[in-house]
Amino acid sequence: MTRQPLVARRAEELLGLAVVSTAPVAGGDIATATRLRLSSGQMALMKTLSHAPDGFFEAEAAGLRWLAEASATGGVRVPEVLAAAADCVILAWVEPSSKTHVETAIGFGQALAATHRAGASTYGAAHDGFIGKLPLPNKPAATWAEFYAVRRLLPYLKLARDRGAVTDDEATTIESVIGRLPGLLPEEPPARLHGDLWNGNCLWGLDGAVHVIDPAAYGGHREVDIAMLHLFGLPHLPRVVQAYEEVTPLAEGWEDRLGLHQLFPLLVHACMFGGSFGARAAAAAGRYS
């Protein structure tokens, strides 16, 4: 057994339990992840980040707790938050499975529908958050079209343009669609969104359930989560969607709107990674011009 003294000591301060051993966990793109074995016998995951933005881990913990409220009524499972501070978050360990069963996918679709149905009081949230390490503005708006334009597309289009990840012509194409969103997006009551629901944030557990991690949670249109799953793929996705619609059918034409709701993650990726994501965002917008 190994023990990283600094990590262990910080976890012990927050949990009030001794840390018996620690082990590094691979896979995190932003934070450093460490598995903890506690004196209680419980396993935990501790995420740390040097010079984390103000409120970074607190926002993650708040999002997980908000989503966990829906778990109690059949919503998607999330790791329990054991502790959160400015420099770290500690979560109950979820033992991953190497298999992705169809039955698990069906259960995930049903649970995601229940989470969305739990709803939100507004489009947005009481506090801003993060997507990756980028700030995520959440000031509420009266309609989904307004919120999506002003809080999700325009800020990241500007940032991508400033970083040279989107050309002037690509920006013009995207802007032309933003101006037409009220006529393109159907209004629905705000859903309880994970907000960053790509395959890497869906953890297939050994317990036979999909657990979602690393949320950018807020109240929004449920097609955002569905579009994110389609953008980056998920095992057995058609069965997930079929099971979802058996609980709560999606609005007519949702498949035709996937590209609209994929503009947001594509622009975020353009800001973070550059490459072809700006061009992909413009191509997606171009289908609606």
Q: Which residues are catalytic?
A: 196
DSSP string, 202-243: EEEBTTSSEEE-S---EEE-THHHHHHHHHH--TTHHHHHHH
Neighbours of 214 (CB within 10 A): 23
User: What angle in degrees, to the nearest 10, is found between the helix axes of 237-247 and 223-232?
Assistant: 170
DSSP conformational letter for 256: G
Q: How far is CA 162 from the centre of its chain?
A: 25
Taking residue 289's Cβ as centre, other Cβ atoms within 10 Å add up to 10
Residue 162, number of CB atoms within 10 A of its CB: 10
CA distance 124 to 192: 10
CA 91 to chain centre: 16
Residues linked to residue 24 through DSSP beta bridges, in sequence order: 34
